[in-house]
Amino acid sequence: MTQPGTESNPLRVAIIGSGPAAFYAADHLFKQNNLVIEVDMYDRLPTPFGLVRGGVAPDHQKIKSVTKVFDGIASNPRFRFFGNVEYGVHVTLDDLKDHYHQILYATGAQTDRRMGIPGEDLKGSHPATEFVAWYNGHPDFRNCQFDLSVESVAVVGVGNVAIDVARMLCLTPEELAETDTADYAQAALKNSRIKEVYVLGRRGPAQAAFTNPEIKEIGELAGADAFVRPEEAQLDELSRAEVDSSKDRTLVKKVEMLQELARRQPTGKARQLTIRFLVSPVELIGDESGRLVKMRLVKNALYKTDAGTLSPKATDHFEELPVGLVFRSVGYRGVPLPGVPFNDRWGVILNEKGRVIDPNTQQPIVGQYTSGWIKRGPSGVVGTNKPDSVETVMCMLEDLQKGSILNPAKPSWSDAEQWVKQRQPRYVSYADWQKLDQIELERGKAQGSPRVKFTRVEDMLAALGR
Amino acid sequence: MKIENILATKGMQVHTILPDRTIKEAARLLLQYNIGALVVVDDTGRPVGILSERDIVHAAARTDAILAQKVSAVMTQHIITGTPHDDIRSVERTMTDKHIRHIPVMDQGQLVGIVSIGDVVKAQLEQYAGEVDTLQTQITQG
Ligand SMILES: Cc1cc2nc3c(=O)[nH]c(=O)nc-3n(C[C@H](O)[C@H](O)[C@H](O)COP(=O)(O)OP(=O)(O)OC[C@H]3O[C@@H](n4cnc5c(N)ncnc54)[C@H](O)[C@@H]3O)c2cc1C
Ligand SMILES: NC(=O)c1ccc[n+]([C@@H]2O[C@H](COP(=O)([O-])OP(=O)(O)OC[C@H]3O[C@@H](n4cnc5c(N)ncnc54)[C@H](OP(=O)(O)O)[C@@H]3O)[C@@H](O)[C@H]2O)c1
C-alpha cells in the first residue's frame, strides 16, 4: 500500500480540542503542499476556540479577533469539526485508532493548581479558573455562585489571569456593557458591592508575572483607583541589582510603572485595586458557618537560588487581611485523558517534543501526539502555541516519512462521520457553529455589545433545531 | 516562564552515568540517546558532576588514552543545580555569566531533569515569537 498523504489515500489526522494549539497544528498540516492531509477536530463543547472564547477576558475583544485566523484555517475543504463530542465520553482511543493515522491531543489545562494551605476550601474561596469560565459563559460553569455582596476581595497570584480577574471585578456597568461577558455575570457584577480588591504577589515588583500593557490598563480604570504600597514598590537589594544590570527594557519599564502607581493619590473612585508584593497567604480563616472572613499573610523576603532566581522565603512577620472572597490565581493544570500517559509531576501528557511517550519503554507511542498547554504546561499567550504546535507537527511529518503511523481499518471521512453520529447524534459541525456565531453577533448588535453568548448547550442545540 | 515548562516536553527519563564508568561507555550513551551531556550521579542518585561532549573533546586534546579514562576524571565537577520553579530568565543569566551549558534540575531531593543553554534560549525565543505573533494578529485582525 502506498504511504498515506495522496489524493486517493489522504493522511487522516484527529485533533482533540479546538483551542489555539489545535488550530495552529491544523494550519501547519495544511501547509504541506506535497501531502494530502485531512483534519477532523473534536471538542467537548459545541463551540470552538478553547480559552480564546472561555478564558481571554471579555473586555479584551482585540485578542479574541484571532478567531478570524482560525476561521480561515477551518475553511479548508479538508477540515471537519465535531463539536459537542468529548474524548473519553463519546469517543475512545480505540475508536480513533480505527479511523485515523495520527491523533493529536490539544486539550489545554482544564483545572487549577492548588495553594496547599489550610482553609483553601472554605465557602468564599474559589479558583480563578471557575470565575473566569463563569464570566465567559462556559456552559459547565454558568451555575457557579460567587458572593459579590462582600466588600473586600483578594486575588492570589500576580499573573495576567489574576489581573484579568481583578480588572473584571472593577469594571463599571458601562464598561461591562461593551463586553461579551455572559448576561448572568453582567447582572451579578453590576450589583457587586465590592470596594477593595487586593492582588497578592509572593515576590516583588521585578518578579511579577503580569505584562506591562496589563498594568497600564489597571491604572486607567474608570471605576477604580489603582495603588501599590510605596514600601512594597521599593526594590530590595537583590532585585535592584538584577534590574540595574538587566538589558531587558520591559522589565525596567514594569518596575517604573508599578512605582508610578505607588505615587498616586486616591481620586475618589468607587473601588480601590491594590497590588501587594512580598506576601503569601498561609491560612484562610472562616466564621462559625465556615464562610471566609479573613486571610493570614506572611511577609516574605527574597533570596537568590543557586541557579539565580530570586525566590520568596517567609519571615516571622504576619498580618491579617479581612476578605470575604478569595480567587486563587496561581496557575492552571492539565488533567489526564483516558488511555493517554500522563506526567503527574508537571501536569501534562507525557511527551518528548510533542510525541507521546510510553512510560514503560520511554519510547514514543506510534501515532499519538500533543501540543499546547497539555504538552508544555499552562504558560504563554495565544501565539506561543504556534511554534509549539509546529514542533509537534514536524515530529508527525518525520514519523510519517518513516512509515511510523497507525494503520486504521476505516480511514475515510464518511466512515468517521457515521461513527461519530452513532456515538453523539447531536454533534455540531463548523457550519452549525457559524450559525450560532451569527446569532450571537446579531443579538450583540441589537444591544450594542460585541456578542451575546449562548451559555447552555441545550440552547445552542435548540437554536440549531436539534 | 519556569524551568518546569522546559522539562514538560522532555519526557521523564534523565540520562545519567556513574563516575567510575569509562568515557567509551559515556560516548555510547551520548550517541544512543542523541544528547549533549550526561548527569554523573553517585550510587544514591545524587548528581556529582556533568559530562558533556565538550568535556570529552577537551580531554581528548590532552590525552590519547581518553576512551579508557573514568568519567570522574573528565567530568565537570563544579555543578550548579536548579529547581523546577527557577525562572527561565534568571537561569539564562546565570548560565551566561558563569559559562555553564547544562543545569541538572532537582525537586525535593530527586533528580528530575536537565536543561541546556539551548533549551533555555529556545524557550525564550518561542515565547518572544509567540508574543510578536499575537500582537501582529491583533493589529491585522482587530
Ligand atoms: C484566563 C485566561 C486569559 C487569557 N488571556 C489571554 C490573552 O488576553 N491573550 C493571549 O494571548 N493569551 C491569553 N491566554 C492564554 C491562551 O488562552 C492560551 O495560551 C491558549 O488558549 C492555550 O491553548 P490550548 O489550545 O493549549 O488550550 P485551550 O485553549 O484550553 O483549548 C483546549 C480545548 O480542548 C477542549 N477539550 C478539553 N478536554 C477535551 C476532551 N476530553 N475532549 C474534547 N475536547 C476537549 C476544550 O473544550 C478546549 O476547547 C489566557 C489564558 C487564560 C487562562
Ligand atoms: N493578557 C494576556 O496576554 C494574558 C491574559 C491572561 C493569561 N495570559 C497568559 O496565560 C498564562 C497563564 O497565566 P496565569 O496568570 O495563570 O499564570 P502565571 O503567569 O504563571 O502566573 C501565576 C502567578 O501565581 C503565582 N503563584 C504560583 N504559586 C503560588 C503560590 N503558591 N502562592 C502565591 N502565588 C503563587 C506566581 O508567582 P511566582 O512567579 O512567584 O511563582 C505568579 O505570579 C501566562 O503565560 C499568561 O501570560 C495572558
A322 and A340 within one domain: no
Q: Please indicate, yes or no, if residue A1 is contained in any of the structural domains.
A: no
* A142 and A99 in a common domain: no
CATH (domain of A438)? 3.40.50.720
> B111 vs chain A: nearest CA distance in angstroms?
12
Separation CA A149–CA B47 (nearest Å):
54
In whole angstroms, give the CA distance from residue B10 to residue B4.
10
- Of A315, A331, A347, the last residue of a domain is A331
Same domain, A362 and A426: yes
Residue A3 maps to a domain? no
Q: What are phi and psi of A321, to 5 degrees?
A: -120, 115
Beta-sheet strands, E only, within A245-363: 271-276, 279-286, 292-304, 310-322, 325-328, 332-333, 342-343, 348-349, 351-352, 355-357
What is the phi/psi pair of residue A79, to 5°?
-105, 135
Residues A158 and A270 in one domain: yes
Q: Do B137 and A387 touch (CB under 8 A)?
A: no
Into how many domains does chain A fold? 2
- Do residues A128 and A327 touch, judged by C-beta distance below 8 A? yes
Structural domain range at position B26: 3-141
Residue B50: which CATH number?
3.10.580.10
CB of B142 within 8 Å of a chain A CB? The answer is: yes
Q: How far apart are CA A8 and CA A36, in angstroms?
A: 9
Residues A346 and A441 in one domain: yes
Whose CA is closest to A375, among B5, B134, B106, B120?
B5
Nearest CA to ligand 2 atom 25: A157
Q: B80 C-alpha vs ligand 1 centroid, how far in Å?
A: 35
Residue A363 touches chain B, beta carbons under 8 Å? no
Phi, psi of A324 (to 5 degrees): -100, -10
pLDDT bracket for residue A3 (50, 70, 90): confident
Q: What's the A163 CA to ligand 2 centre distance in angstroms?
A: 9
Residue A4 placed within a domain: no
Nearest ligand 1 atom to alpha carbon A50 = 49
Mean pLDDT, rounded, for A222-246: 95
Nearest CA to ligand 1 atom 6: A56
What's the domain range around A50? 11-110+334-463
| CB contact (8 A) between residue A383 and residue B134 | yes
| Residue where a domain terminates, one of A284, A316, A331 | A331
Residues A249 and A190 placed together within one structural domain of the fold: yes
pLDDT at position A24 over 90 = yes
- Give the other-Cβ count within 10 Å of A459's Cβ: 14
| pLDDT tens track for A285-310 | 999 999 999 999 999 999 999 999 99
pLDDT tens per residue, range A338-379: 999 999 999 999 999 999 999 999 999 999 999 999 999 999
Does A385 sit in the ligand 1 pocket, CB within 6 Å? Answer: yes
In a domain, A5, yes or no: no
Give me the pLDDT at residue B16, please. Answer: 96
**C-alpha cell, A357:** 511517550
Residue A300 included in any domain: yes
Give the global pTM: 0.97
Cβ separation of A62 and B86 shorter than 8 Å?
A: no
Measure CB to CB from residue B8 to each of A62, A309, A348 and give the nearest one: A348
Q: Assign residue A269 the CATH number of its domain.
A: 3.50.50.60
Are residues A284 and A120 in contact, defined by beta-carbon separation less than 8 angstroms? yes
Is the per-residue pLDDT at A246 higher than 90?
no
Q: Per the CB < 8 Å rule, is B86 touching A375?
A: no
pLDDT above 80: residue A2? no
Could you tell me if A17 and A99 lie in one domain? yes
B141, pLDDT greater than 80: no
Q: Whose CA is nearest to atom 7 of ligand 1?
A: A56
Pair (A204, A289) in one structural domain: yes
Is residue B97 within a helix (H) or strand (E), and if so which, with residue range? helix B88-97
pLDDT reported for residue A114: 94
Domain finish residue from A313, A331, A349: A331
Cβ A189 under 6 angstroms from ligand 2:
no
Query: pLDDT per residue over A59-82, tens digit each?
Result: 999 999 999 999 999 999 999 999
Q: What total number of domains does chain B contain?
A: 1
- pLDDT above 90 as % of chain A: 98
Rounded to whole angstroms, the Cα distance separating A338 from A336 reads 7
Same domain, A185 and A198: yes
- Read off the pLDDT of residues A401-426 as tens digits, 9 standing for 90 and up: 999 999 999 999 999 999 999 999 99
C-alpha span between A67 and B69 (Å, rounded): 59
Dist. CA A438–CA A444, nearest whole Å:
10
pLDDT for B142 beyond 90 = no
CB A292 within 8 A of CB A286: yes
Does residue A50 line the site of ligand 1, with CB under 6 A? Answer: yes
| Nearest of A415, A423, A373 to residue A40 by alpha carbon | A415
Q: Which of B5, B9, B141 to mutate against chain A (most A CBs within 10 Å)?
A: B9
Percent of chain A with pLDDT over 70: 100
Q: Same domain, yes or no, for A96 and A229?
A: no
Q: Grid cell 558533556 — which residue?
A: B52
- Please tell me the predicted confidence (pLDDT) of residue A1: 55
Same domain, A389 and A447: yes
Rounded to a whole number of angstroms, the distance from the CA of A435 to the nearest CA of chain B is 21
In a domain, residue A18? The reply is: yes
- Give the mean pLDDT of chain A: 97
Tell me the sheet residues that pair with A297.
A281, A319
Q: Is residue A51 part of a domain?
A: yes
Q: At what angle do helices A212-219 and A160-170 cross, to 10 degrees?
A: 20
Distance from CA of A309 to the nearest CA of B (A): 5
Q: Do A387 and B129 touch (CB under 8 A)?
A: yes
pLDDT at B78: 85
pLDDT at B138: 83
pLDDT (average), residues A106-129? 96
Residue A37 lies in a domain: yes
